[in-house]
Amino acid sequence: MPLVPLRPLLEASYRYGFAHGAFNVNTVAQADAVIEIHETFRSAAILQGADLANAFMGGRADFMNGTVEDKRIGAKRIMDAVQSVSENSPIPIVMHLDHGKDVESIKAAIEGGYTSVMVDGSSLSFDDNVELTREIVKYAHERGVTVEGELGILAGVEDDVFSEESTYTNPMKVCEFFRKTGVDCLAISYGTKHGAVKGKNVKLRKEIAIAAMENLKHEGIFGVLVSHGSSTVPQYMVEEINAMGGQISNAHGVPISELKQVIPCGIGKINVDTDIRLSVTRYVRELFVKNPSLKESKSIGGVWELMESKADQFDPRVYLPPVMESLIVRKEITDIDLLKLVDCIKRGVHEAVGTLIVEFGSAGYAPKIEPVTLEEMADRYRKAGI
């Protein structure tokens, strides 16, 4: 089926009390694997493209310095890859822009085919955040596209999303934000943190979600809360990577038990990036350790070289540049060594994402999600006056 907006997924999670994971992708193989594993578990899928991920897909190994043009090319590549798979997939698939910062880049994403966008005005004053978000909502809803806002500031680092300290979301303000902007869902700050260094024993302030949802219900406003910075950082993955020569230290995530507690409190979308990076790194490292001759491979030997020289890192974008040309556009791969590497990327995604589909409770719910089109959704917003 064609890509769907996020809204019907939010409505299902609200109604049935589960959460959808939302997974960042940087290569065609990752996008394919995220969709495959959701099909296996009959869950709807949310794929996320972040600004800098789009730069990487645009062909920039130094993605931190990507230009708007690189990002545009990258966004189109990921859209092409996802759309072609979506057409033949039995599950609803959403393509969501993660951390859209300004009007121009968000509109470009919508024009490129994204069916859901996040507008991150969290660093602005409340009034300025409302104004920016409202402008995006108007533009997006006219086209049936879902909008996620953000209120409160998260600590940590996620690509260029950086903040020194966490300022929790004021639940009293949540209602006003929904009413004034018309957003469909809202990222809150309640104890999660971007990146892999979240500290040991993270505790989430679920009272913030509970209070916000109670206020919304009293006012008769539909809204779903979103949890950013929610990777679980499975310790067995870190240990296995380090046992094979990796040097990752201090990596801790949000315990899965904490996340499962907040899902019934109104958290319906949970963003995960680090777990996939770790899982892919584990498989790729294992490939080289178990098959030492591949370290000399003409096609993928360069990957091992980078991986070894940066053993403390686990972002695949750090060690994939030698083969990136084959990973950012959909084309048939015939090189046997490269096929093995792609297989590792996919296995890594399957393991990390499959676990979370089950834990978050979205398995089996795909048939319960209304396959609404963007046009139908735009019509609904128009009639409801939002």
Q: Which residues bind Zn ion (CB under 5 A)?
A: 228
Helices (H), 43-102: 51-57, 68-87
The nearer residue to Zn ion, 227 or 299, going by C-beta atoms, is 227
The nearer residue to Zn ion, 5 or 156, going by C-beta atoms, is 156
Q: Name every residue whose Cβ is closer than 8 Å to that of residue 69 and which is 6 or more positions away in sequence.
A: 58
The nearer residue to Zn ion, 212 or 366, going by C-beta atoms, is 212
Residue 98's DSSP bridge partners are 50
Q: What is the identity of the amino acid at 8?
A: P
Quickly list DSSP for 315-379: -HHHH-GGGHHHHSS------HHHHHHHHHHHHHHHHHHHHHHHHHT-TT-GGGS----HHHHHH
98 belongs to the catalytic site: yes
Give the number of other Cβ atoms within 10 Å of residue 128's Cβ.
11
The nearer residue to Zn ion, 228 or 285, going by C-beta atoms, is 228
The nearer residue to Zn ion, 157 or 378, going by C-beta atoms, is 157
Locus of tokens 């505790």: 203
The nearer residue to Zn ion, 228 or 317, going by C-beta atoms, is 228
User: Taking each helix axis from N to C terminus, what angle separates 301-309 and 274-290, rounded to the nearest 10 degrees?
Assistant: 120
| Min CB(123)–Zn ion separation in Å | 13
Q: What is the β-pairing status of strands 161-163 and 155-158?
A: antiparallel
| Min CB(50)–Zn ion separation in Å | 8
d(Cα 304, Cα 356) in Å, to the nearest integer? 29
d(Cα 97, Cα 108) in Å, to the nearest integer? 10
Give the number of other Cβ atoms within 10 Å of residue 296's Cβ.
9
| Min CB(90)–Zn ion separation in Å | 29
Distance between terminal CA atoms of the chain?
26
CB 138 within 8 A of CB 145: no
Q: What is the identity of the amino acid at 101?
A: K
| Min CB(151)–Zn ion separation in Å | 13
Reduced to 3 states (helix: H, G, I; strand: E, B; else coil), residue 197 is strand
| Min CB(120)–Zn ion separation in Å | 8
d(Cα 353, Cα 34) in Å, to the nearest integer? 7
State both tokens at 219: 């006012």
| Min CB(229)–Zn ion separation in Å | 6
| Min CB(209)–Zn ion separation in Å | 16
List the catalytic residue out of 32, 51, 70, 98. 98
Which residue's Cβ has the minimum distance to Zn ion?
228
The nearer residue to Zn ion, 294 or 353, going by C-beta atoms, is 353
Which residues are designated catalytic? 98
